[in-house]
Structure 1
Amino acid sequence: MSATAGCGARAPQGGSDDEGGKENKRRMEVESTVQTYVAVAEVVYPTTLSGIETFVRSFIAARLDREERGTAMRDAVTELQTVADEWYDSSFESLAPETRDSLLRELGVDEADEDPDGTVSARVRFYVVNELLLALYSSPTGGELVGIENPQGHPGGTDTYQRGPSR
């Protein structure tokens, strides 16, 4: 009696190899975008914070999933990466933190009006810097940095309402 074993490769369920390749490319693009957000946060957030990468990843990933907003956010990051490549011949996240800070200031992001349809500086301010600031200051940790112990949307329990503000 003989036994025969069969071996074969299967395409991923629900689609062709081409669809799997597209999904892999999308995941890589999202990861690259998140890495850029982390690099910007390391410059924009107060130096006293720790765990920046974990915090940014948890907030930004969900924002990038929004169809129109996510596309605009990725486009703003692409523009920032283009500037970094043209000016410094490097990706934004590969630059030293002080160089990243300098690039953002030279680009005028620190003084730009937030405008989703404006200049590169205005779009980076709107879709990158402001997204990061929203994430930080709407969280309990970021709220504490600016004296808001219980930001809107975060339950603080009855203890928060029964004592005065900490000083």
Structure 2
Amino acid sequence: LQRGAQIFTNYCLSCHSASGMRFNRLKDIGLTDEEIKKNLMFTTDNVGDVMLAAMNPKDAAKWFGAAPPDLTLIARSKGADYLYAYMRGFYKDPTRPNGWNNVVFDKVGMPHPLWEQQGVQAVEWDAKGQPVMVKDEHGELKPKLYWESTGAHSRRLPNGKVIQTEYDAYVRDLVNYLVYM
């Protein structure tokens, strides 16, 4: 949960608020006021403050097409499995304004916040310029993804800072924190 809180404050809180969560609640997961102030607080000075996004919602709406939602109750409304799949489902899409899309949330406005950790996934395109579609574990059609790389094994090797199992654990910790919130 502590690592999930760190990931949340470093990668999510710049755009998404968690207005139902106060920084001082992180003491419930074993952090001290000093650790919270030193490592997790970037936009406020009071440990009792709520977690508000650094970005102005009006600017975000202009840049991304909609203001980013508050994430306090996102795990309750979407579910942990959805969030886990969502954070693993980003792919490079040159047809989108921000260059990213998601197999779980098609035409997502949010760019991939953890692309440096995961690496860049891309969609396989057919000869007509349409994405190759495959059925997921629920029988729904999703774009076929592959790892983009400059190496000889361009369709097999991730190019992120961490290997896939480490990235999956990273996302799991973030999702567990969102569930905790």
TM-score range, shorter chain: under 0.3
Higher RCO (Cα < 8 Å, 6 or more apart): 2
Which has more radius of gyration?
Answer: 1
TM-score, normalised via structure 1 length = 0.24
> TM-score normalised to the size of structure 2?
0.22
Q: Which has the higher helix share?
A: 1
